[in-house]
Structure 1
Amino acid sequence: MNYTTQMDAARKNIITEEMKIVAMKENMDVEKLRELIAYGKAVIPCNKNHKNINPEGVGEGLRTKINVNLGISKDAYDLEREMEKVKTAVEMKAEAIMDLSNYGKTEEFRKALVEYSPAMIGTVPIYDAIGFYEKELKDIKAQEFLDIVRKHGEDGVDFVTIHAGMNRATAEVFVNNPRLMNIVSRGGSLLFAWMRLNNQENPFFEYYDELLDICAEFDITLSLGDACRPGAIADSTDASQIHELMVLGELTKKAWEKNVQVIIEGPGHMAIDEIEANVKLQKKLCHGAPFYVLGPLVTDIAPGYDHITGAIGGAIAANAGADFLCYVTPAEHLRLPTLEDMKEGIVASKIAAHAGDIGKKLPGARRVDNEMSDARRKLDWTRMFELAIDPERPVEYRKDTNPEDETTCTMCGKMCAVRTLNKVLDGENVNILR
């Protein structure tokens, strides 16, 4: 039988090759996965033109996935450096990479990224419009925004962030409910500005059916962006954010009518006590569609350390049911991330995702933790490093010190509790002083 998208196949009781691969990775019955995709509770972002993709699933009952943002900008235009980041992100097993390039002719980098990467690739097509058409924002036509989405689909992009919920009604709610930080979504701010400058409706909302046809043609997963995501904890869970979320819920149903897979994007900056409620609200208003969060960052006062504030929020969000974490680097709010910034962000997000999976009680989530504990009990340092999320740093730390007893570390030395118990339980003398 023929099918257009993974959702279309699932609804026709077709098990695709991508479903088989994802089910094996997740230790899930493939029929169960098919049902989740049919109901929109899980997605497999997999453009028909992304030939070397290693498919991943995002959604209910699946491991929490992480996304890495990178790309060129006018102030940091270095394609070679960005490709080095891509290769490192793939080596570190990031499940998704978003190309947020926003300057010049970005097609060269995007095509190279898709051709190289087995990870799923996402973009925000509106970023590309100004450079592609060489027009100021106000002068871009509605149809041209849609044409850019088609171009990204032809290039093999697996999911696209589209801020279709920033319509005139949402914009009015925002204007009537002032915020401390206004709109911090780059794509959302561009669309809000375009609407005001041209006195027109958001093209992605007005011509949403045409957008869905493009997504269905290439099996692009539609990541419905939250233009009103809070950029300060003072703005979280406000009228603008919730109004837009309600719009996204309606747009989700329309997408499913055309068998287009959907992810919902979420905050942003948010006080720690609001995260769980926001996840539950999204799942309710958006009918169980997978939830993709940036952070959330739980405080606004840690520039240079926002990979930590984001990981705290990400772990809580994942535990509450968020399915997809967008990483945050130490350079957030400060500069384009370096390679080292990116690595710090990946590790922090992977920790958050794994901690969330343990909290969700996903089958097998604790297995590697138990293996690590067993290696620690045996003082098997080699095995500990093999199991670590980031093997490089613990090896460096270990080499940097020289304990008297090489089975221990310089923190406790021969007073190591693990060493003491191992010896005593084996009937040996502890011999701390000699």
Structure 2
Amino acid sequence: MKDLNPTVTTGPLPASRRVWHAGTRHPDIRVPMREIDLHPTAGEPPVTVYDSSGPYTDPEATIVIDRGLPRLREGWIAARGDTETYAGRHVTPADNGFAEGARLTPEFPVRNAPRRATQGRAVTQMAYARAGIVTPEMEFVAIRENLGRKAQAEAHAQTLARDGESFGAEIPDFITPEFVRDEIAKGRAIIPANINHPEAEPMAIGRNFLVKINANIGNSAVTSSMAEEVEKMVWATRWGADTVMDLSTGRNIHNIRDWILRNSPVPIGTVPLYQALEKVGGIAEDLSWEVFRDTLIEQAEQGVDYFTIHAGVRLHMIPITVNRVTGIVSRGGSIMAKWCLHHHRESFLYEHFDEICEIARAYDVSFSLGDGLRPGSIADANDEAQFAELETLGELTQIAWARDCQVMIEGPGHVPMHKIKANMDKQLQVCGEAPFYTLGPLTTDIAPGYDHITSGIGAAMIGWFGTAMLCYVTPKEHLGLPDRDDVKVGVITYKIAAHAADLAKGHPAAQIRDDALSRARFEFRWEDQFNLSLDPETARSMHDETLPKEAHKVAHFCSMCGPKFCSMRISHDIRAEAQKDGMARMAEKFREGGDLYIPLEDKA
């Protein structure tokens, strides 16, 4: 691999290679997937899995961070003939928090003129879908979601039987480009794909598709740098993050975001309010529509794929939160609540939502309508404030859809298990089945340092009930800014939750990887067990702590039970004996061996 700027992790995962599937409607499409090769003794084909890692795991790719990734979608966007390039706004010192000198992160070296819709046009995937157009992005998504399902169906027919409870989700046996178009037209799915982020590989978020996960990164006023944040993005996608949110709040927000976008193969989301606040010196009361609008255009020109907009926090809702145990825990929600109270007026995000939609439709920026009043403790779950805001988000969804803008809805938060399904049911009802995007939820409040587990439980449940994307939680939640290792733990935890939800929903082919690993486990193919796992490195490391020799990789036992008490080894012995003597004879032996008690009259 030619790694000319070695600041990020590159190279394939063990026994894996990146493969591409071609399009039919759009022959130039090459959809990436990952194939995991199995040991020759398995006699099985490779297992195909979803891959969001981009070219960073491709040994043939040339990775040069200061040039960025190939502009995959640029030709598709230009060919539609409904956009124009223009000079764009001038970058100001305020965009980077007034950082200067040695504290100023360098600008990304390559600048491409931004695009926007031509006058009066909507360039969103929803607008195309409603016009009956199947875009290359839609075909890309269809191929990606199928995971080579037709070929795998022939090799694993027994594992493709539908088994699960979908709670009303309509997941087809095979996803077609037309199905993707229809889901987007109805607002039940989105493809977050800003026309100024052509480097991103198209993906879908919707409950009739695979459950996706998001990883949060971002610098703060006291820690982290551009190099660290780009590496966090690459690291998160390596382990399976489908989107990444840049939640930077310190200096250099503009420049760091540019470095991330130009090197990101996945959609990037932001909370524009954070940068707008930096532009007014961190004083919430000084925020204005003009500053916020300028920030939206700035980020849309850079290529941000989805905006979290806290337009559901309204003036009359704020008093309802006073008696909460933990008040308003959303940063964006608390900022807007403070602004509303100071000015004694409705939020400028709510009042100007029409204009926000006009900006979004000109660049195809999707909305992630923020839950600024989400519960920050299980004591506050499902309260009046939370659901009042959700009702408003449903109203805003209809406004955005009327302007062909793509929308997903953010959800809680901290919710005990018995209250989780009510959140999903209410969201589907009031938001017209727009995709739900939840932070966990955390199911208990007693485990600081382990909130990736408390939230993973809730995430698996709400994913099963219908949530389309799960926002990861790391072990550092409530404690500090996550580092590289925390990011990996959070991503793996949420990949488990998302996959468990896919299995429970009865997603076609979801069980293929599970069954392949189970067969490898029963046959003591240790290398295949490691390689098929979500985290091969950790699986191998834990095994080798007690059985490090290469000979142990073919041993028919592990250190848990040892050679004499391994249940699977005993099962092999039983199976071999059964095949040798015949099942009838074995049944007779079992009957004879079952006489554990001797009648009294037969005792000597």
Task: State which of 155, 161, 167 in structure 1 corresponds to 2:314.
Answer: 167
Distance 1:197 1:307 in 2: 36
Q: Structure 1 length as normaliser, TM-score?
A: 0.95
Deviates most, 252-261 or 128-137: 128-137
How far, CA to CA, are the matches of 1:402 and 1:187 in structure 2?
50
Other-structure match for 2:262: 115
Q: Does 1:398 align with 2:543?
A: yes
> CA offset at residue 318 of structure 1?
0.3
Offset at residue 321 of structure 1 (A): 0.6
Q: Which residue of 1 aligns with 2:359?
A: 214
Residue-by-residue CA offset, 1:143-196 (whole Å, 9 max, x unaligned): 211221111111100011000001223224435xx2110000000100111111
| 1:364 paired residue number | 509
Q: What number of residue pairs does the alignment pair up?
A: 427
Residue 188 of structure 1: which of 311, 320, 333 is its match? Answer: 333
Q: Does 1:418 pair with 2:568? A: yes
Q: Which has the larger radius of gyration?
A: 2
Q: Secondary structure at the match of 1:250?
A: helix
Write the distance in 2 (CA, Å) between the matches of 1:132 and 1:345. Answer: 31
Whole-angstrom distance in 2 between the partners of 1:130 and 1:277? 34
Give the Cα separation in 1 of the matches to 2:338 and 2:316.
14
Aligned to 2:350: 205
Query: Structure 1 residue 337 and structure 2 residue 482: aligned?
Result: yes
Gaps of 5+ in 1: 430-434
| 1:17 counterpart residue number | 136
1:308 aligns with 2:453: yes
State yes or no: 1:407 paired with 2:556: yes
Aligned 8 A contact 1:36 1:60 in 2:
no
Contact 2:460 2:501 in 1 (8 A): yes
* Residues 375 and 383 in structure 1, CA contact (< 8 A), matched pair in contact too: yes
Tell me if 1:377 matches 2:522.
yes
1:100 to 243, 247, 254: 247
One-letter code of the match for 2:352?
Y
Q: 1:150 aligns with which of 291, 297, 319?
A: 297
The structure in which a higher percent of residues are helix is 1
Q: CA deviation at 1:412?
A: 1.3
The CA distance in 2 between the partners of 1:147 and 1:264, in whole Å, is: 24
Distance 1:240-1:303 versus aligned 2 partners, 3 A rule? same
Equivalent-residue separation in structure 1 for 2:508 and 2:555 (angstroms): 36
**Change in 2 beyond 3 A, CA 1:310/1:114:** same
Out of 56, 59, 69, the residue aligned to residue 216 of structure 2 is 69
Q: Identify the range of structure 1 (166-175 vs 184-193) with the bigger mean alpha-carbon deviation.
A: 166-175
Residue 406 of structure 1 and its aligned partner are, at CA, apart by 2.1
* Residue 139 (structure 1) shift: 1.8
Partner letter of residue 556 of structure 2? T
| Distance in 1 between residues matched to 2:332 and 2:280, nearest whole Å | 17
**CA offset at residue 135 of structure 1?**
5.8
Give the 3-state SS of the residue equivalent to 1:413 in structure 2: coil
Q: How far is 1:420 from its partner?
A: 2.0
Q: Helix, strand or coil: the match of 1:74? A: coil
Amino acid at match of 2:571: L
| Counterparts of 2:344 and 2:509, CA distance in 1 | 53
- 8 Å CA contact retained: 1:293, 1:324: yes
SS of the residue corresponding to residue 426 of structure 1 reads helix
Matched, 1:45 2:192: yes
Q: How many Å separate the matches in 2 of 1:252 and 1:323?
A: 16
Aligned 8 A contact 1:23 1:33 in 2: yes
Task: Report the equivalent of 1:127.
Answer: 274
Instruction: Return the letter of the residue paired with 1:156.
Output: G
Once the two structures are superposed, what CA deviation does each residue of 1:229-272 show, in whole Å capped at 9, x if it has no partner? 00000001000001000000010001000000000000000111
Amino acid in the other structure paired with 2:576: D
Letter in 2 for 1:25: R
Shift of 1:53: 0.3
Q: Deviations over 1:66-123 (max 9, x none)?
A: 0000100012132222222112112112101000001123011101111001011000
Preserved CA contact (<8 Å) 1:173 1:243: no
Q: Is the 8 A contact 1:146 1:204 kept in 2?
A: no
Residue type at the aligned position of 1:421: S
Give TM-score, length-normalised by structure 2. Answer: 0.69
Contact 2:226–2:259 (8 Å) recurs in 1: no
Q: Counterparts of 1:105 and 1:77 in 2: how far apart (Å)?
A: 11
Report the residue type matching 1:104 in the other structure: R
Q: CA deviation at 1:133?
A: 4.4
Aligned counterparts of 2:385 and 2:282: Cα–Cα separation in 1: 30
Q: By how many angstroms is 1:419 displaced?
A: 1.6
- Contact conserved, 2:424 with 2:466, CA < 8 A, in 1? yes
